[in-house]
Amino acid sequence: MATEIITPNTTTMADLKGRVEPDWCPGCGDFGVLAAVQKALVELQIPQHEVCTISGIGCSSNFPGFIETYGMHTLHGRALPVATGVKMANHGLTVLVTGGDGDGFGIGCGHLVHSMRRNVDLTYIVMDNQIYGLTTGQTSPTSRMAMKTKSTPYGNVENPVNPIALALAAGATYVARGFSADQKHLTELIKKGIEHKGFSLIDVFSPCVTFNHDNTVQWFRPRVKRLEDDPNYDASSLNAAMEKAQIWGEEIPIGRFFELTGQPSLEEMEPVLELGPLVRQSYQIPAEKARRFIEELM
Amino acid sequence: MRQSFSIGIGGAAGQGVASPGDIFAKVFTRRGLHLNAYNAYQSVIRGGHTFLTMRVGESAIGAVDGHLDLLIPLNQDTADRHLRLLQAGGACLYNADTIHPGTPGEGVALCPLPVSTLADISRNKIAQNTLAIGAALSMMGIGFQSLESILAAQFRSKGSAVIEENVKLARAGYDYASQNFKPFAAPMPLTEKRYAALSGNTAMAMGAAAAGVKFYCAYPMSPATGVLHWMAQHGREAEIMVRQVEDEIGVINMAIGAAHAGVRSMCATSGGGFALMSEGLGLSAQAEIPVVVIDCQRAGPSTGVPTKTEQGDLWQMLGAAFGDYPRVIAAPLDIADCFTLMPEIFNVTDRFQCPGIVLCDLLLSEGRLSVDPAVLDFAPRVDRGELITSNGSGDGEPYKRYKITPSGVSPRVIPGVPGHTHVVSSDEHDEDGVLISDVYTNHAKRRAMMEKRMRKVEGIAAAVAPPQMLGPEDADVTLVGWGSTYGVIQEACELLREQRITANHLPIRWLVPLHGDVILGLLGKARHTIIVENNFSGQFARYLRSETSYVANGHIRKYDGEPFFPEHIVAAVKEQLAGRTKLSVPAHEVMV
């Protein structure tokens, strides 16, 4: 018996609570990111069934299971192409992509660069803990030089990726960095990212309490400085953003580095989508068109 | 023997071998003639050697062969390589200024075209091509008017001056040949029929469009790129989203994303690109998101020979991605089947929510065949399976994406429908979609989910037609092939019959499901069985043996990058029936 489901008029935190509790380590930064995403969706009042949360593989990639939206848990590093496919086939959905630094800046880095240059309307939230957690503590693409991990017992000798500079260079139109322990600020960054038309990268410091003893909440807290606190900072300037992206050490900027508005997103560039979301279009080729396709061959 | 006429056109890459081929194809199919064309080429943009063979006749032509009735060499190299392929009654039509064909076989006419006196070659570098087309038409007894409209269409984008010039050139060649060359003994027939001439890649793209595909993505790779080209050219009109993606890993995952959002979704590649897609294929199976992947096989391994054909990817398809999961694999039998297979495989993958692989090869992908336009049916049966697309179409129960059912199929919902939120997952999960890979790990649930997915195998086997024996039930020899060998084996059977050897043919189209019992039943009655395939190790023979324990009496294999000719199979059958060998590997005699 078919039954129409009556949807509530409002989206609440309770609606978005996942059907299982997160199994992250107690104190994991990812709890803060999850709460910030849920708050952002509540504040924007986006119905849960119009959201698709897509992840790769890793601790943070278990995220879609902990929030009650449509979700996809995909392959390691492949969340962005999957999400692009979802968005292309139904651009009416709000598509969030969640994952870790290994997933996004390591195995999936190629897809990241291309997703950014395409300016596809996705909000990509990277829970960056500068370590591989689920595989029990190896160096990651954002691990600092000299960091000792299980795979670099004598200290890491490779330079880390600078996600902000990478995103700016690749053409992302919204580039931000958050800190999981600064919930309110992070929620704002995520809200702006969702509202931004085009690709948004939000790199979030989300410390790993178990395997990264260098970059802890205590380490970050005195260092992070909100760009929003500087009234002279101009987030529409690519050069200013690139300059800020180079700062790392006693002071680490967080906030909205860059936003370019008015740039058409990939969906807006595609005439086929002018007819509405692909999934709602007819899939029957009209006889007249079919005749033309065949006639070309005769 | 089938009445047919073969034309060979060869030259260096960049000399314009393709467009005379296109023009001839139109001339013949508009006369209601069948054709089969194969272009032997190299992975080079300029230079090297390209050789197009086109065989034409009143009845269907399943393969090209190593004989020519007309050779048009565009350079000396081509004349040197192929003059000897001309049979008695044939002719070589060439540019007298630049080519010295040498001594032809008996009964072969040399027809020199004085290109520099007939055309201003300082202006038109490819004048010899157009002159030769005109001359050839005259010798084949075809009226000139049929060429005019084809040339106009061919050169439309280049403007009326170019059209006019080419028509004039073709006319000059036509008239010169009428006055100076002897026409072929039998003029080209004319029938009431009209055919479309198309490649397998075009056929697969159109078949997918007919099946309702709305999302196509790819990374360019020979010999699959033709699918992308048709899609890119026609996507807007056909209302299909077409994307070129950064790599094949991105391709399959993007296709899966689109499929998950609810549209029919497809991608195409060749063996190397497919290797990159393997993990994604596993995702499609585990998350139960249907996706169709075309693999156009080329000679491997590694990057192999990009422009040469092979049937060497079967075991890659059988073993792609780790773990056990339901999949379907089908190999189109000919270019027409490249079209008709697509709606069928989409229906199966949609119904059973699993990955589907179309195992094509360069021979079909880039070959050209005349196809009755009625076969190109753009209103095929579409079965999207158990798909919840709107609010109110569910059963009112709390939704479980991976609900355990007797068929193994759980109703799928497209994201956006209220009240059905869930997670689809690459990690093992329970009925609800909750991961059972971490704190919820549970061996009983894991077993139940494996059994649920694998139950689909039975349904898939019932949904697909088993293979059928073609030809007389009682035969001296039974030839077993799969995919693209269909046409060449069919013709070999006819040739054998003329030599008083009765042969029948078991073409395998669905590799998974295989219908092993049906095959055993059919082969159990056979007197002498020979498996024919375009690879080194007998990939199908080994697969058949692993599934059924059946061991054939003999094998015919070819792995030099070129397709079988009917004569290869005839000669091999004869040597095997005479007890001289159990494994024949025919040598390719055309120097390409």
- Residue B527, pLDDT > 80, answer yes
With contacts defined as CB-CB under 8 Å, which chain B residues touch A85? 215, 217, 253-261, 265
Q: Contacts of residue B210 in chain A, CB cutoff 8 Å?
A: 285, 290
Residues sharing a CB contact under 8 Å with residue B167, sequence separation 6 or more, in sequence order: B147, B148, B151, B152
What is the DSSP annotation of B286-338?
A: HHT--EEEEEEE-B-STT-BTTS-----HHHHHH-SSS----EEE--SSHHHH
Q: Give the chain B residue nearest A91 (alpha carbons).
A: B261
CB contact under 8 A, B421 and A81: no
Q: Give the mean pLDDT of A206-219.
A: 96
Does residue A13 surpass a pLDDT of 90? yes
Q: Name the residue among B376, B416, B377, B418 with its Cα closest to residue B396.
A: B418
Please, what's the largest Cα pairwise distance for chain A?
Answer: 73
B539: left (phi over 0), alpha (psi -120 to 50) or beta: alpha
H helix intervals, B312-466: 314-319, 335-352, 362-366, 443-463
Asked whether residue B387 carries a pLDDT value surpassing 70, the answer given is: yes
Strand pairing of A224-226 and A252-259? parallel
The CA-based angle B50-B52-B56, given to 5 degrees, is: 175
User: Closest chain B residue to A286 measured between Cα atoms?
Assistant: B378
Between helices B566-577 and B486-498, what is the axis angle to 10°? Answer: 60
Instruction: Give the closest-approach CA distance of A221 to chain B in angstroms.
Output: 31
Q: Write out chain A residues lying below 8 Å of B411, CB-based.
A: none
Average pLDDT, chain B: 96
| pLDDT at site A2 | 53
Examine the pLDDT at B90 and tell me if it is beyond 50: yes
Q: Which residues have C-beta within 8 Å of that of residue A295, sequence separation ≥ 6?
A: none
Contacts with B, A 239-268, CB within 8 Å: none
CA distance linking residue B174 with residue B72, whole number of Å: 14
Taking CA atoms, what residue in A is nearest to B206? A293
Quick: pLDDT tens for A129-163: 999 999 999 999 999 999 999 999 999 999 999 99
pLDDT for B164-223, tens place per residue? 999 999 999 999 999 999 999 999 999 999 999 999 999 999 999 999 999 999 999 999
CB contact under 8 A, A19 and B235: no
What SS3 class is residue A150? coil
Which residues does chain A have within 8 Å of residue B287's beta carbon, measured at their own beta carbons?
72, 74
| Cβ <8 Å between A298 and B197 | yes
CA distance A218 to A284: 59
Q: Domain A13-272: state its class.
A: alpha beta
Contact B378 A7 (CB under 8 A): no
pLDDT of residue B182: 97
CB contact under 8 A, B214 and A281: yes
Name chain A contacts of B239, Cβ cutoff 8 Å: 272, 275, 281-282, 285
In B, which residues are within 8 Å of A69 by CB distance? 421
- Residue spans of the domains in chain A: they are 13-272
Q: What is the dihedral of CA B8, B11, B12, B17, to 10 degrees?
A: -60
List, as one string, the DSSP characters of B503-528: EEEEEE-EEES--HHHHHHHHHT-SS
Kindly tell me if the per-residue pLDDT of B123 is higher than 80. no
Contacts of A5 in chain B (CB under 8 A): 391-392, 394, 418-420
A50 contacts chain B (CB < 8 A): yes
CB contact under 8 A, B433 and A52: no
Q: Do A298 and B212 touch (CB under 8 A)?
A: no
Over residues A245-287, the pLDDT tens digits come to 999 999 999 999 999 999 999 999 999 999 999 999 999 999 9
Residue B19 confidence (pLDDT): 86
Reference B543, options B576, B581, B513, B503; nearest CA is B513
B477 membership: H or E segment, kind and range: strand B477-482
Architecture label for domain B5-180: 3-Layer(aba) Sandwich (3.40)
Question: Which carries the bigger pLDDT value, residue A33 or residue B123?
Answer: A33
- Stretch B29-52: mean pLDDT, rounded? 94
Which residue of B254, B322, B399 is the best one to mutate when testing the A interface, meaning the one whose CB has the most A CBs within 10 A? B254
B570 and B564 in contact (C-beta within 8 Å)? no
Stretch A152-179: mean pLDDT: 98
Class of domain B477-584: alpha beta
HSE at residue A256, side-chain half, CA atoms within 13 A, is: 23
Locate CATH 3.40.50.970 in chain B. Answer: 203-374
Q: How far is CA B532 from CA B96, B218, B583, in A?
A: 43, 31, 10
In whole angstroms, what is the distance from residue A143 CA to residue A68 CA?
32
Contacts of A93 (CB under 8 A, 6+ apart): A50, A51, A52, A70, A86, A87, B261, B415, B416
Closest chain A residue to the Cα of B150, Cα to Cα? A298
pLDDT digits (tens, 9 = 90+) for B3-32: 899 999 999 998 888 889 999 999 999 999
Question: B107 to chain A, minimum CA–CA distance in Å?
Answer: 35
Locus of tokens 């010169």: B176
Which of A65, A92, A270 lies nearest to residue B434, judging by beta carbons? A65
pLDDT range class, residue A1, cuts 50, 70, 90: very low
**Average model confidence (pLDDT) for chain A?**
96
To the nearest whole Å, the CA of B488 is away from the closest chain A CA by 24
Least Cα distance to B4 among B66, B50, B52, B47 occurs for: B66
Q: How far is CA A190 from CA B168, B293, B464, in A?
A: 68, 36, 49
Q: B203-374: what fold?
A: Rossmann fold (3.40.50)
CB contact under 8 A, B415 and A273: no
Find which of B395, B421, B422 to mutate to test the A interface (most A CBs within 10 Å of its CB).
Answer: B421
Burial class (CB in 10 A: 0-12, 13-18, 19+), B511: buried
Q: How many CA atoms lie within 13 A of A289 on its CB side?
A: 16
Query: What is the per-residue pLDDT for B18?
Result: 84
Q: How confident is the model at residue B2 (pLDDT cuts 50, 70, 90)?
A: low
CATH 3.40.50.920 range(s) for chain B read 477-584
Pairs of residues, one from chain A and one from chain B, whose beta carbons lie less than 8 Å apart: 226
Euclidean distance between CA atoms B465 and A245, whole angstroms: 61
